[in-house]
Structure 1
Amino acid sequence: MSDDDDFMADSDQEQYDFEYEDDDEPADGDVDIENKYYNAKQMKTEDPEAAIEEFLGVPKLEDQKGDWGFKGLKQAIKLEFALQKYDDAVIHYKELLTYVKSAVTRSYSEKSINNMLDYIEKTANDSTAYRCMEEFYSLTLETFQATNNERLALKTNVKLAKLYLDKKDYSSLSSKVREIHKACQREDGQADPGKGTYSLEAYALEIQMYAEMKNNKRLKALYQKALTVRSAVPHPKVQGVIRECGGKMHMSEENWKEAQSAFFESFKNYDEAGSMQRIQVLKYLVLTTMLMGSTINPFDSQETKPYRNDPRISAMTELVDSYQRDDVHRYEAILKENSDLLEDKFIAENIDEVSRTMRTKAVLKLVAPYSRFTLAFISKHIKIPVSEVQDILGVLIVEKKLKAKIDQEHGTIIVDNAENAEQIQRLHDWTSAMSDLWSTVLNDSEGFKPDDTQSAPSSYLMSSTFDAPISTGPLRTSGGRLRPPKGGKGGKVSAWG
C-alpha cells in the first residue's frame, strides 16, 4: 500500500497510521533524504509535532524539487490537518502544488492530490476545517486549470459543490453546479459522453439541495433528467443518493408505489456501494410499505432478506409486523420503546400517517358492536388522548365511514341505525321472496311431484320445505319464512366505558 492509500482508511482507525511506501514508488535517492523521511514516519505516532518538523526538513535536503520532497510535504500536511493546524496546512499545500508542474509525473500527482482531498473531506468535522477545505479546493482548481488537467479540475469542482451542500450555501452550490454542467458539454452545447459521470454527480448534488429546500417542482424535473443520463458509469452511491431523494419526493406527493420502487432501488445501490445509508433507506422502504397498506413483507425479497434480523432495523421489522396484524397496542408500544426512530426527520414526518391509519382501524373495529359509546371508552381501550379520538371519529363521520353523531357536551357518540334497519328490512324482504320461491319449487314443480308408483308422504314434503339447510347467518325461520333476530334494528348494545 502506498502512502496515498491511507487517505481512504476508515475514520475509526488511528489517523496518524500511514503505511510505508511500496518499493515501486518513485524513490530517487540520496540515502540521507530517505533516512530522514523514514525516521519521520517512525516518530509520527508518538510525537506528531516533531514528525512534522522532520517531514518538512526533507524538501530542504533536495538540490531540486523531487519525489522525496513531494512525499515529505504530503505527510506533513496530513499531520497538520489532523492536529487542526489549518493555517500551516494551507501554506504547505501551496508549496506542494508547485511540485505537480514538473517535479513528479502527472498521473502520480493527480492520484496523490485527489486522495489527499478525499482524506481531508473525511477528517474535517467543524466550520474551521470546512474553511480550510474550501481553500484547498480553490488552490487545487487554480493549479490544475492552469495545467489543463480537466479531469482533476472536474473532480475538485464536484468536491467543492459537495462542501457547499454540507454548509447549506445553496447560492454557491447552484453556481458551481452550473459550472460543472457547462464543463460537461461539448462546444456545440451537446452533452459530452465522456463526462457523463461528473454530470450525474452534479445532478445528485442539485437534487439533494432541492430536496432539502422542499422544492418538489424543481426536484421532480431534475430527477427525471438524471434518470435519462445513459453515458455515465457512476459510483453506485451516487445512484443511491438520486433514488433516495426521488423516493422522498414521491412520498411528499403520497405516491406510495413509486416511492417504494425508488427506495428499493436506492437500497440496492447503497448496498452495492457498501454505504451505511442502506440501513436508513431500508427503514424508509418499510415505512412506505405500511403507508401503502401492503400485506407483502418487505423482507421477503432476495436483496432485503439478509437484513430481516439485523438489530439496527429490528424496531421497523416489529412495527410492520404489528401493522399488518392490526395490533395497535403492540404498534404503540414499539414506537414508545424505540423513540430513536423519530430522530430521523423524514420518518418522524411520515410515521404520523401510519399511526393515524392504525388508530382509525382500531376505532372502527372497537365500536362496531355498539349503538352508543363515549369518547372516554375509546380513549381507554386504544390508549390515545380523547382529543385524538374525537378527531378520528369526526373524519370517519365526514367521510361517511361511520353513521353517527357526536354529543360534545356529554362526550358521547350515538350511532344512526336507520340505515342498518333499512338494510335489515331489505334482507328480510329478500329472504321472504326466497322462501316463497323454495316453497313453490318444492311443492308445485313437476320434478318434485310424486308419481303413481311411488309416492312420498306429505310429511316429507313439509319437512323439506321447512328444514332445508338455508345459510342465513343470524336470521331465524318462522313458519317457513326467514326473519331477522329479535331486537330488530341491528341488535347493537351500548358501551359507556
Structure 2
Amino acid sequence: MASTIPITMMLTRQGAHDVENMYYTAKSKKEDDPGQALEEFRAIVDQETERGDWGFKALKQSTKLLFLTLHRPTDALASYIKLLTYTKSAVTRNYSEKTINGILDYVGGGKGGVVEVDVLERFYAATNEALEEAKNERLSVKTNLKLAKLWLDRKEYGRLQKIIRELHAATRAAMDSEDQSQRGTQLLEIYALEIQMHNEMRNVKKLKEIYNASNNVRSAIPHPRIMGVIKECGGKMWMGERQWSLASSDFFESFRNYDEAGSPQRIQVLKYLVLANMLTGSEVNPFDSQETKPYKSDPQIKQ
C-alpha cells in the first residue's frame, strides 16, 4: 500500500497555484479513504490567503463527507457555517444558492443516520442568519419551507407551527414588493403544510378553515404536487363529512396533479377516488377519464 504524502509537503511542493489538482486528488479519495480526503479538503481551506472558489468547493465536499459518510453531523455543521461565510463574496449568488439548497436537501432527507433535532435546527438557523445578512428574502422563505416540511415529516408540530407563523408573516410583509403570482404560490405551499398538519392532528375545524382559504387563492402557479396534497386532504375531509361527491371531485383533482408531478402517491389517491365513487352510487366508471384510463389494469389498484 502506497504511503500517504503529508499534507504540508503537498502544499510546499505544489504551491497555492496548484490547488485545483489538490482538490481533485482529494475528491478521488472520498470513497476509498474519506478520512484522508477530508484532511486534504481542509488543507485547501487552511492554505487560502483569501476566501476563494476552491475553498468553497472544499468546504462543500467536507460538509457532505462529514454528514453523509462519516456521520458526524456536529462537525458537518461547523464546516457548513464556515462555508456560509464564503457566500458573501467568494462565489456567485446562483452557485451559493444551489449549494445551500443541495446541503439542506440531504440534511433534512434522513440519509445521514440519526441526527439530533437541535443539530438539524442549527443548520437552518445558520442558513437563515446568513441569508438575512445577505438580504436574500426569497431563499430565506424557501429555506423555511424546507424546515417546515422536515418538522412535518418528524411530527414536530410545535416547531412546525412556529415556522408556519414566520412564513405567513414573511408572505404578508412581501405583499407590496413581490408580484401577486409569486405570493399566491408561496401561500399555497404554506397552506399545504398546514392542511397536512391539521389532517394528521385530526383538527377538522382548522383543516376546513385552511382548505377553504387555499381555494380562495387566485393568483398562483403552484407545483402540481402542492395541489395534489391540498386536494387529497380535501377529499379526506369530505369523506369524513360523508360528502361523497365532493370527495370524489377532490380526489380526482389530487390524482391528476400527482400524476402530472410524477408522484407515486397518485396510486393511493386513485384508490380513494374509486372508493368515493362507489359511495356516491354513481354508475360512471372512474377509469373512463383520459387521466385514469392508463391505470385501469394496474395491479396496485386491485390490492
- Does the alignment reach a TM-score above 0.5? yes
What displacement does 1:249 show? 0.5
Aligned pair partner of 2:296 in 299, 308, 326: 308
Per-residue CA deviations over 1:241-299 (Å, capped at 9, x if unaligned) read 11111111011101111111111111111111111111111111122122223333222
Aligned pair partner of 1:211 in 186, 199, 215: 199
- Over 3 Å counting, the alpha-carbon distance change for 1:229 and 1:188 in structure 2 is closer
What displacement does 1:35 show? 0.8
Partner of 1:289: 277
Of the structure 1 ranges 256-265 and 300-309, higher mean CA displacement relative to structure 2 is found in 300-309
What displacement does 1:58 show? 2.0
Partner of 1:54: 40
Residue correspondence of structure 1 range 61-210 to structure 2 within 5 A: 61-83=47-69, 84-124=71-111, 127-128=114-115, 130-186=117-173, 193=180, 194-210=182-198
Residue correspondence of structure 1 range 428-467 to structure 2 within 5 A: none
Q: Hey, what's the Cα distance between the residues in 2 that align with 1:140 and 1:163?
A: 15
SS at match of 1:300: coil
Q: Hey, what's the Cα distance between the residues in 2 that align with 1:68 and 1:308?
A: 53
What displacement does 1:307 show? 1.4
Q: Hey, what's the Cα distance between the residues in 2 that align with 1:137 and 1:149?
A: 14
Residue pair 2:106, 2:112 contacting (<8 A) in 1 also = no
Q: Hey, what's the Cα distance between the residues in 2 that align with 1:125 and 1:261?
A: 40
Aligned pair partner of 1:42 in 19, 28, 33: 28
Amino acid of the residue matched to residue 77 of structure 2? V
Per-residue CA deviations over 1:199-225 (Å, capped at 9, x if unaligned) read 211111111111111111111111111
Partner of 2:220: 232
SS at match of 2:115: helix
Q: Hey, what's the Cα distance between the residues in 1 that align with 2:177 and 2:136?
A: 21
Q: Hey, what's the Cα distance between the residues in 2 that align with 1:256 and 1:122?
A: 36
Number of matched pairs: 287
Amino acid of the residue matched to residue 52 of structure 2? G
RMSD: 2.2
Runs of 4+ in 1 over 6 A off after TM superposition: 187-192
Per-residue CA deviations over 1:27-76 (Å, capped at 9, x if unaligned) read xx955211111112211222223222222222123221111111111111
Question: What are structure 2's unaligned runs of at least 5 residues?
Answer: 1-14
- Over 3 Å counting, the alpha-carbon distance change for 1:188 and 1:130 in structure 2 is closer
Q: Which is bigger in relative contact order (C-alpha 8 A, separation at least 6)?
A: 2
What displacement does 1:129 show? 5.6
What displacement does 1:175 show? 2.1
Of the structure 1 ranges 123-132 and 284-293, higher mean CA displacement relative to structure 2 is found in 123-132
- Over 3 Å counting, the alpha-carbon distance change for 1:290 and 1:149 in structure 2 is same
Q: Hey, what's the Cα distance between the residues in 1 that align with 2:16 and 2:296?
A: 59
What displacement does 1:144 show? 0.5
Give me the TM-score of the superposition, normalised by structure 1.
0.55
- Over 3 Å counting, the alpha-carbon distance change for 1:136 and 1:68 in structure 2 is same
| Higher radius of gyration, 1 or 2 | 1
- Over 3 Å counting, the alpha-carbon distance change for 1:156 and 1:44 in structure 2 is same
Q: Hey, what's the Cα distance between the residues in 2 that align with 1:298 and 1:165?
A: 32
Q: Hey, what's the Cα distance between the residues in 1 that align with 2:155 and 2:254?
A: 23
- Over 3 Å counting, the alpha-carbon distance change for 1:116 and 1:190 in structure 2 is closer
Partner of 1:491: none
Per-residue CA deviations over 1:161-196 (Å, capped at 9, x if unaligned) read 122222222222222112111111247899962322
**Could you tell me the percent identity over the aligned residues?**
55
Amino acid of the residue matched to residue 43 of structure 1? K
Of the structure 1 ranges 288-297 and 92-101, higher mean CA displacement relative to structure 2 is found in 288-297
SS at match of 1:312: coil
Question: What are structure 1's unaligned runs of at least 5 residues?
Answer: 1-28, 316-497
